[in-house]
Structure 1
Amino acid sequence: MVITAESKLGSPKSMEYQANDKGQAEEICRNGLIGVEPKDWHLQMRGVERQNTRTEKYRLGVIISPPKQYGDSLTKSDWEALAKDYMQKQGINIDNHQYIAHLHHSTDDKHLHLTISRIDFTGKNAINDSNIGIKAGKIGEKMSKERNWKTAKEIGEERKKGLKATILEETRNSANFEELRENLEKKGFIFQISRNEARGVYGARILKEEDSKKEIKDKSKGVPIGFKLSELGLKIKELNQILERNKKEEEEQRQAQNQERKFGEEKLKNIKEQIEEEPIRNKGFRR
């Protein structure tokens, strides 16, 4: 299970996004908030948050993403349990903070958006946001193990093994990198080749076509979902050797086929000549 968290100022727009999800958002749980309008929730949170004048980022934005194989079967109460379990493991007193959680259904992988005010009802900033993202990731691993779910790391390793096997399989059926790219494309993958005139092909990245428009949220840059060959334990040199061997075998096979065809043509020619000569040899023969 992947859990991401970041501290932020908070705004009506972010509340509206969480509560919308293309009209498919489902509220899971809340505390200290009333009404149905996202802008009202924002104002209610801000009313409490303004008691604290020393905090710049008043809220936590959290996304809880279980693996699809588990997330698809979770009930509303299961999602609520995940939200509260995360908050408690993060050291948050769930009775003394405003929060609201919505389940997003619009993508293939269901995930929970959780907005939590860091300012408790007494006006104290009771949530330390130092390394909050790292802490959230570790909590996600712990929650997965407690539920006997595969952890994000374990799922990542399985994906890597599968991708590596797919690349090697298609490499054995290809004569060059362009053919390899086309073969992988037929299987629903994007194979991004890095090359230049001086070095030729020097690297590559593979990702599922369905993931090509997704990005991992990162403050510094957007990183495409996928893996470099080096992350899969593969080297361009290794693939190039297989491709060169395939190319050589393909050329040898082509030459063998040409020789076989030439032999067949000569044999057919000889047979035709024999047939044409047969009447001459039999000329004048009478029973």
Structure 2
Amino acid sequence: MNNSATTRRISKIAIEYNGNDKGTAECIYSNNLLSTTPEERFEEMKIVAERNPNVKKWALTGYISPPREIGDRLPNEELKELALKSLKDVGLTENNQVVLDVHNSTKQKHIHFIVNRIDVYGKCTVKSANIGKRFGESVRNVCKEMNLKTDVEIGKEKKQQMLKVLQNCLKVSRNFDDLVDYMRRCGYRVTLSQNVKEGISGIRIVRLKDINDHTQRQYHPGYKLSEITSKLKIKDIKEILNRNAENHQSAIFSQSNPQTNEIKHPEKSALREIESAMKEMLKPSYTPAADDELLRKRKRRR
């Protein structure tokens, strides 16, 4: 599952954003907070954070975003369990303030969290070192515990499927425009990158249903060709497309020249020879004798 965690100093705007989501956000859990409005919650958290003035970035913020096929079926209670267990692995305790909000306005249901790293006794329980990496590992471990696919497993499956579709589309494409069009028909968007020296220098592939037009975050969804496979390079794709284009031109020329067609397609004459041989094999090997024919006539008379 996609996830993110970072330490920072927040304002009430962060709490407002998590608790709004275009009016569709749902607060499914809070701890050590008496108020319900973003302004009041921010003031509560700030008061506790000031008990440890040495920690400037006193908030841990982030999200967990299951893929759509999982998130649509995942109840809020299980999403809350996933978030809390993952946060506890990186230092969350019962003495920390925390707010969990579920967002549903985008294509993918996901959960946002804000944690006060400073507990009510003034102790910093969530260390900042490698927090993004540690949180990601924690989410993967909890996913396995809950029998949910991890972000690594999901990514691996997506890449395998992308490669399979790409290879099939390459069989019928004669140029990059064809490739982009065939991939789109199969449910994928192909973005081409190019430079002056090499022309097309790379591609990025993403499933159309994974594209989130509503998100405000600027990121590059999908995978680069080098992330999908190490066995297929952009130069290999160019060679395949050029070969397909040449074969197509040869086929057109052959169709306009019957004699050339026989030369270019020897398999056709081979098929005719096989068909002739099969006909010969299917012919009856026993020819009725005259006596046999006379015997059948006598039987019919009886």
TM-score range, shorter chain: 0.7 to 0.9
Identity of aligned residues (%): 32
Moved more, 10-19 or 142-151: 142-151
Residue matched to 1:227? 223
Q: Which runs of 5+ in 2 are unaligned?
A: 262-302
Structure 2: how far apart are the matches of 1:61 and 1:129?
Answer: 12
1:203 aligns with 2:202: yes
Q: Say which SS state the counterpart of residue 24 (structure 1) adopts.
A: coil
Do 1:62 and 1:113's aligned partners in 2 also have CA atoms closer than 8 Å? Answer: yes
Deviation of the 1:42 alpha carbon: 0.3
Are the structure 2 counterparts of residues 6 and 217 from structure 1 closer, same or farther at C-alpha, using a change threshold of 3 Å? farther
Structure 1: how far apart are the matches of 2:106 and 2:95?
Answer: 32
Do 1:8 and 1:60's aligned partners in 2 also have CA atoms closer than 8 Å? Answer: yes
1:181 aligns with 2:180: yes
Residue matched to 2:283? none
- The count of corresponding residues between Structure 1 and Structure 2 is 259
Residue matched to 2:242? 244
Deviation of the 1:206 alpha carbon: 1.9
Do 1:2 and 1:140's aligned partners in 2 also have CA atoms closer than 8 Å? Answer: no
Residue matched to 1:121? 120
Deviation of the 1:210 alpha carbon: 5.0
Structure 2: how far apart are the matches of 1:186 and 1:79?
Answer: 34
Are the structure 2 counterparts of residues 210 and 149 from structure 1 closer, same or farther at C-alpha, using a change threshold of 3 Å? closer
Residue matched to 2:56? 56
Deviation of the 1:223 alpha carbon: 4.0
Residue matched to 2:46? 46
Deviation of the 1:63 alpha carbon: 0.8
Moved more, 225-234 or 114-123: 225-234
Residue matched to 2:157? 158
Aligned pairs for 1:1-287 within 5 A = 1-93=1-93, 95-209=94-208, 211=210, 223-233=219-229, 234-260=232-258
Q: Deviations over 1:230-252 (max 9, x none)?
A: 22222122222221221122112
Structure 2: how far apart are the matches of 1:76 and 1:185?
Answer: 33
Q: What RMSD over aligned residues (CA atoms) do the two structures have, in Å?
A: 2.5
Q: Say which SS state the counterpart of residue 45 (structure 2) adopts.
A: helix
Structure 2: how far apart are the matches of 1:171 and 1:62?
Answer: 39
Q: Which runs of 5+ in 1 are unaligned?
A: 264-287
